């Protein structure tokens, strides 16, 4: 029997509708959440992401500001711009679109954003709180993944989760969030030996390596839930595919996320959620 699809697109639409209603109530009390996005340079993929974020803000009723800065912007100029937004009471979330030009230190930029406005969940103090299970802004993609798993009533506590990938943006934090939900978590990465033996033990398999069709059905335990985070464009066809061979995997798994329409829509949705939460946490 083919796996049940976990549609991030459908779940995101449902959550955004709920958020829109929540924002309408906040506006009636004189409060409106605000998100500022800084885009340095003119990377086409970054511009596309930024456009999707602006569209989501419009849809939900969030005040949105886009600060475009040229490729030649210095690190000092960017940090000064973040400082202004840190002190702007109309802005509750600040996001600097990555990647940045090579002459700017990514970590310095992440750490400059006030932890109270770090709706991406990347600031070391928010990462630290996530590690110890304190309430904080959670990184958007991992947060979205957990919401998708829960939306299908898939039990996490006591299950064996295998995460393929160890990036700071997805791999490491998603493993931690699932550990916080009482799963037993194993990480696989480029140095892992006998990876297939490990992934075949997973009740929930999360794949986030950025390599097209890296995991086929032979890596998957019968009945596992498979979360495919990868978005890769095939050069020969221009088609978007995940890190998992979808047609193969869906015959083995019990649940699977598609690409596109899986994890992607949930990332921006959880960014919106964090921005609304930030407003709610501010002192009146």
Where exactly are the structural domains of the chain? 31-115, 140-264
Catalytic residue among 120, 203, 228, 243: 120
pLDDT in tens, 15-61: 999 999 999 999 999 999 999 999 999 999 899 999 999 999 999 99
- C-alpha 129/C-alpha 167 separation (Å) is 18
Q: Which CATH architecture has domain 31-115?
A: 3-Layer(aba) Sandwich (3.40)
Domains 31-115 and 140-264 share a fold: yes
228 touches 242 (CB < 8 A): yes
Half-sphere exposure of 173 (CA within 13 A, CB side): 24
The mean predicted confidence, pLDDT, of the chain is 96
Q: How does pLDDT run across 228-237, given as a tens digit for each residue?
A: 999 999 988 9
Residue 185 confidence (pLDDT): 98
Beta-strand pair 93-96/34-40: parallel
Task: Summarize the confidence of residues 1-9 as an average pLDDT.
Answer: 93
Q: How does pLDDT run across 266-281, given as a tens digit for each residue?
A: 999 999 999 999 999 9
* CATH architecture, range 140-264: 3-Layer(aba) Sandwich (3.40)
Average pLDDT over residues 252-263: 97
CB neighbour class for 89 (10 Å; exposed up to 12, middle 13-18, buried from 19): exposed
User: Is 283 in the active site?
Assistant: no
Predicted TM-score (pTM) of this structure: 0.96
Q: Of 15, 53, 159, 221, which one is the catalytic site residue?
A: 53
Q: What is the pLDDT of residue 282?
A: 87
pLDDT of 133 above 70: yes
Q: Catalytic site residue 28? A: no
- Mean pLDDT confidence for 108-121: 98
Catalytic annotation present for 200: no
Residue 74: what pLDDT?
A: 97
DSSP annotation string for 22-35: HHHHHHHTT---EE
């Amino acid at each position: 029997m083919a796996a049940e699809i976990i549609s991030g697109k459908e779940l995101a639409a449902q959550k955004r509708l709920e958020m829109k209603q929540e924002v309408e109530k906040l506006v009636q009390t004189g409060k409106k959440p605000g998100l500022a996005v800084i885009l340095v340079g003119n990377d086409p993929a970054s511009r596309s992401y930024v456009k999707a974020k602006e569209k989501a803000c419009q849809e939900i009723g969030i005040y949105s500001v886009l600060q475009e800065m040229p490729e030649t912007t210095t690190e000092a100029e960017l940090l000064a711009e973040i400082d202004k937004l840190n002190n702007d009471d109309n802005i509750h979330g600040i996001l600097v679109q990555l990647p940045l030009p090579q002459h700017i230190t990514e970590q310095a930029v992440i750490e400059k954003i006030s932890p109270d406005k770090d709706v991406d969940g990347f600031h070391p103090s928010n990462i630290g709180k996530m590690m110890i299970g304190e309430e904080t802004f959670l990184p958007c993609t991992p947060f979205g993944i957990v919401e998708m798993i829960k939306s299908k009533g898939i039990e996490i506590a006591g299950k064996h989760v295998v995460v393929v990938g160890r990036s700071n943006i997805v791999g490491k934090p998603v493993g931690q969030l699932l550990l916080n939900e009482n799963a037993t978590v194993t990480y696989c990465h480029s140095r892992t030996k006998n990876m297939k033996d490990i992934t075949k033990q997973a009740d929930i398999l999360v794949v986030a390596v950025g390599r097209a069709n890296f995991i086929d059905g032979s890596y998957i335990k019968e009945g596992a839930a498979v979360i495919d985070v990868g978005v890769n464009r095939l050069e020969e066809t221009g088609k978007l595919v995940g890190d998992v061979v979808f047609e193969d995997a869906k015959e083995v798994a019990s649940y699977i996320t598609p690409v596109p329409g899986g994890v992607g829509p949930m990332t921006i949705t959880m960014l919106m959620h964090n921005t609304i939460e930030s407003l709610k946490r501010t002192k009146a």
